[in-house]
Structure 1
Amino acid sequence: MTTLAWIIVSSLLMSSIALVGSVTLLLKPSTLKKLLIPLVAFAAGSLLGGAFLHMIPAALKANLSIGKIGLLIISGFTAFFILEQFLHWRHTHQIPSQQDGHKEPLTYLILFGDGLHNFLGGMAIAGTFLIDIRLGIASWLAAAAHEVPQELGDFAVLADGGWSNRSALFFNFLSGLTFLLGGLIAYFLSFKIDVSWLIPFAAGNFIYIGASDLIPKVNNDTTHNVKDRAVTLAAFVSGIVLLYLAIP
């Protein structure tokens, strides 16, 4: 396939992950919560593995200076920090309840913030495909691992906030399509400017989500016993190992 085809197909697949939220309709809240924590841990390991084992080494090979790479990683990290601070964007890796205060206004905020997050993610992942297809696939795998628990949580919040199941899935999918928009913009920009800067920028995104968002979610969970925590740790390590095995 051409690079453009890889970007389009991977973006559509990423957007389709929004439909995984329907699984919450089949599982008990207690069962889903037990599954979510290991999934979040796996996603954290995958994101950190993608950043440190693939993106940063690729940025070094792209003839970017050490100083520029460091600045772009910090910029990517800061961009998502700003997004979370000013849009109150967050990944709700838990099953909400009416008592948690997740009402309808929050649902619109989640859709908007998630759409912007997907747009930035689409640009970043497309940038990796433009440098190397294998790098793009590895980056996509790490991002996809993160999207699964996120979409499970987002769907639960939308449903709890008064949306019908069909509407929650549909609008969650629409917010996911901004990933494709970001990917296409990055692709067409590549004909005019060098987009290799998107690689360390994406690494900063991944590090922020993995270390500042997902790992605290795992550490703050107080419901698991020693056995459950061992499973969670194994899931985290598995995410790193998966990205290690994907090194070309």
Structure 2
Amino acid sequence: MSTLVLTLIFSFMMSVIALVGGLALILPEHLFHKIIQPMVSLAAGTLIGGAFFHLLPQAVDKQGNEKIIYIALVSGFVLFFILEQFLHWHHCHRSSLKHQPVSYLILFADGFHNFIGGLAIGSAFLIDAKFGMIIWLIAVAHEIPQELGDFGILVHSGWSSKKALLFNMISALTFPIGAVLAYLLSGNVNVSLLLPFAAGNFLYIGAADLIPQLHSEKLTKQLLLFLLFAVGLLIMLLLTWF
């Protein structure tokens, strides 16, 4: 199967995952909040592990241990810091659905994030299929709690469930757009530099945005969340041997 076909299949699958947000409607609110933290904890581990164990090593392997890699890494980190600060956007839902965010602003920010994720997946499949699937799995682990939270927030802010699902799907279409753009640019741009840039995005979301959500007053819950975070890291580490 060609690189372009694989890129299209997996990036469109990411768009379909936006439909999982509909589960936020059928889950009782107390159950929703009970499962979202463990999912975010696992996602934080996979994002940080994916950045350190997969994206950065691949970038160094393709580009050499050049300063430009670390410039791209920091650029990716800082870009998401700016996005969060200036758009007042908190990824993966810092809290309860009682907040009334600007709905279209959330969709714009998520659409931009999905576009960057698409660039990462497209760049990864250009290197090889196995690496592309690993980066795709990292994105899935993070996308599911994100879509659940987004859908719940949109509905709570007054949108109908159909409208929330439709616009979530539209914002998710930036995933294949980013993936195809990475493929099209591969002949003219050093696509390997997109890997550390994506790693910077992953590190910001995981370390600065997700981990702060994982604090709990109960020691047993703290231990569970840390364990799931460690499981995410371990999965990414183990995948380096396959």
The TM-score by the shorter chain falls in which range? over 0.9
Q: What SS does the aligned partner of 1:197 have?
A: helix
Residues 192-231 of structure 1 correspond to what in structure 2 (within 5 A)? Answer: 192-219=188-215, 221-222=216-217, 225-231=218-224
163-172 vs 133-142, which moves further: 133-142
Moved more, 113-122 or 81-90: 81-90
1:241 aligns with 2:234: yes
CA contact (8 A) 1:74 1:204 kept: yes
**Alpha-carbon shift at residue 235 of structure 1 (Å):** 1.0
Q: Distance in 2 between matches of 1:111 and 1:228?
A: 31
Partner of 1:96: 97
TM-score by length of 2: 0.94
Distance, in Å, in 1 between the alignment partners of 2:71 and 2:231 is 29
Name the counterpart of 1:140.
136
Give the counterpart letter for 1:42 in structure 2. Answer: L
Distance 1:115 1:16 in 2: 14
CA 95–18 in structure 1, closer or farther in 2 if over 3 Å, else same: farther
Determine which of 141, 147, 152 is the counterpart of 1:151.
Answer: 147
Identity of aligned residues (%): 47
Within 5 Å, give how 1:75-154 maps onto structure 2. 75-91=75-91, 92-97=93-98, 100=99, 102=100, 106-154=102-150
Q: Is the 8 A contact 1:11 1:183 kept in 2?
A: yes
CA contact (8 A) 1:96 1:160 kept: yes
Query: Residue 158 of structure 2: which of 144, 162, 167 is its match?
Result: 162
Q: Normalising to structure 1: TM-score of the pair?
A: 0.92
Count of aligned positions: 240
| Structure 2 residue matching 1:196: 3-state secondary structure | helix
Tell me which of 172, 184, 190 is aligned to 2:186.
190
Structure 2 unmatched runs, 5+: none
CA offsets, 1:14-63, max 9 Å, x none? 11111111111221111111101111100000001100111111111103
Paired with 2:5 and 2:86, the residues of 1 have a C-alpha distance of 34
Query: Helix, strand or coil: the match of 1:65?
Result: coil
Please report the RMSD computed on the Cα atoms of aligned residues, expressed in angstroms: 1.4
1:19 partner amino acid: L
1:61 is matched with 61
- Is residue 40 of structure 2 the alignment partner of residue 40 of structure 1? yes
